Amino acid sequence: MPRYKLSPEERAQEAERKENLRNIMKGLDVKSFDDLKDVFKMMVGEMLENGLDGELDDELGYTKYDYRNKEGENSRNGYSKKTLKTSFGETEIKVPRDRNGEFEPQLVKKNQTTLTGDIEEKIISMYAKGMTTSDIEAHIKDIYGLECSDTTISRITDKILPLVREWQSRPLEEIYAVVFMDAIHFHVRSEGQIIKKAVYIAIGINMDGIKEVLGMWVGENESAKFWLSVMNSLKNRGVEDILIACVDGLTGFTNAIEAVYPNTEIQQCIIHQIRNTTKFVSYKDIKALMADLKKVYAAVDEQTALAELDSFDEKWSCKYPKIAISWRSNWANLSTYFKYPEAVRTLIYTTNTIEGFNRQLRKVTKNKSVFPTDDSLLKMLYLAMIDITKKWTGKRKDWGQIHSQLEIFFADRLPQ
């Protein structure tokens, strides 16, 4: 590569910066690396004190010397000292107080004694929100005035990996009413190449109606062999039975689940079947064709649905012969929901539960076009999952009705 040559103006600016830095170092009597660390501690301390003063200004509604704009009765009440552990050692700061004792500082909280731990929590939180390492680096520099390299960010976020593995191997419940399974794909760098990898995801609803992510597994591609390893993982973690499994026509899934859970009923997602079989239908035909297809999947029972499928085939087979063929070839797994009442049908006929989760994962990972390793992908997905599932509180509103129906349909498989 050709060497970049500074212009005379740039050389003059560089020389001025170096001279200013030398003067600062001389004025601060910096003679060793320890002296330099003391300077950093002083700078961090001053930055924090300025930030805390600004927070109290916002709290009281007026700045330190602007008494004319004071409206409330509360006011400043001096400072208290706090010693913080930082990346450069311990530093003492002054924390402003208010007379009423109502001020709750956010930059350095009341019981906080370490700054490095707080920064690490913020880095992990930003990583969980999908921020790139360069964005995190810039943000930490802007807010704290600290340099934070890609390597440092990776080292901090790697602390999550033992938690990921512990979560991935945690014991599960013996019986799940419904388990939704799907795969979502990401690009990962491997041995100098960028490979498209599948992340296999399982979300379960237990017999109390509580929803949880059972696991996330990174694999090369969708296959019966890998799905079998997922099923065996669930079995080894204590899952003795799955009443109904909802899938998106996943490659190899049916064989894999039958090998581990032979009594599980499989429901293939109706919405995906509709999309897959109508994507090449002409725009002018789609409205009429969809109306006829709805008579099939919205039928009151399976016998009526098969009769409607015959009518559909008779009407549309000349133009679109593959649609009815596909429905018939997948009918065993598409028609499972017909045997159940409306509440259970609504729960299992589509994989919207896991698709919604996958959409939220994609929002977090959209800034990462390629992940450097499987671990980097898994730790971001884990942090995103923790964030997403915080909102999963309580059970389904109609769970009482669903549970009573499952008790009848699966009486021989549920404990009395």
Tell me whether residue 138 is in a domain: yes
Question: What average pLDDT does this structure show over 105-118?
Answer: 72
Tell me whether residue 276 is in a domain: yes
For residue 4, the 8-state DSSP code is: P
Tell me whether residue 1 is in a domain: no
Give the model's pLDDT for residue 144: 59
Domains contained in the chain, number: 2
Are 330 and 268 in contact by the 8 Å Cβ rule? The answer is yes
Return the number of other C-beta atoms located less than 10 Å from residue 380's C-beta: 22
Residue 153 sits in the same domain as residue 293: no
Give the model's pLDDT for residue 415: 83
- Residue 105 structural domain: 8-159
Tell me whether residue 2 is in a domain: no
Question: What average pLDDT does this structure show over 59-81?
Answer: 74
Task: Reduce the DSSP state of residue 200 to 3 states and report it.
Answer: strand
Residue 147 sits in the same domain as residue 186: no
Rounded to whole angstroms, the Cα distance separating 26 from 18 reads 12
Give the model's pLDDT for residue 55: 79
Tell me whether residue 353 is in a domain: yes
15 has a pLDDT exceeding 70:
yes
Which has the minimum average pLDDT: 29-33, 161-165, 265-269, 302-306? 29-33
Look at phi and psi of residue 184 and say left if phi exceeds 0, alpha if psi is from -120 to 50, else beta.
Answer: beta
83 has a pLDDT exceeding 60:
yes
Task: Reduce the DSSP state of residue 339 to 3 states and report it.
Answer: helix
328 has a pLDDT exceeding 70:
yes
2 has a pLDDT exceeding 60:
no
Look at phi and psi of residue 103 and say left if phi exceeds 0, alpha if psi is from -120 to 50, else beta.
Answer: beta
123: tokens are 């880095």
Tell me whether residue 167 is in a domain: no
387: tokens are 């964030």
Give the model's pLDDT for residue 108: 78
Highest average pLDDT, of 3-7, 97-101, 146-150, 205-209, comes from 205-209
Give the model's pLDDT for residue 102: 85
Residue 260 sits in the same domain as residue 125: no
pTM of the model: 0.68
Q: 114-163: per-residue pLDDT in tens? A: 665 566 677 777 777 777 777 777 777 766 566 677 777 777 777 788 88
Rounded to whole angstroms, the Cα distance separating 132 from 139 reads 11
Residue 180 sits in the same domain as residue 125: no
Residue 178 sits in the same domain as residue 144: no
Question: What average pLDDT does this structure show over 363-382?
Answer: 87
Last residue of a domain, one of 103, 135, 159: 159
Beta strands, E only, 170-239 = 175-190, 193-206, 211-219
Give the model's pLDDT for residue 117: 59
Look at phi and psi of residue 261 and say left if phi exceeds 0, alpha if psi is from -120 to 50, else beta.
Answer: beta
Question: What average pLDDT does this structure show over 214-225?
Answer: 81
As a whole-number percent, the residues of the chain with pLDDT over 70 amount to 86
1 has a pLDDT exceeding 60:
no
Give the model's pLDDT for residue 119: 66
For residue 12, the 8-state DSSP code is: H
Per-residue pLDDT band for 267 (boundaries 50, 70, 90) equals very high
Question: What average pLDDT does this structure show over 260-279?
Answer: 92
Give the model's pLDDT for residue 132: 74
Give the model's pLDDT for residue 3: 47
Beta strands, E only, 207-317 = 211-219, 241-247, 265-268
Give the model's pLDDT for residue 65: 63
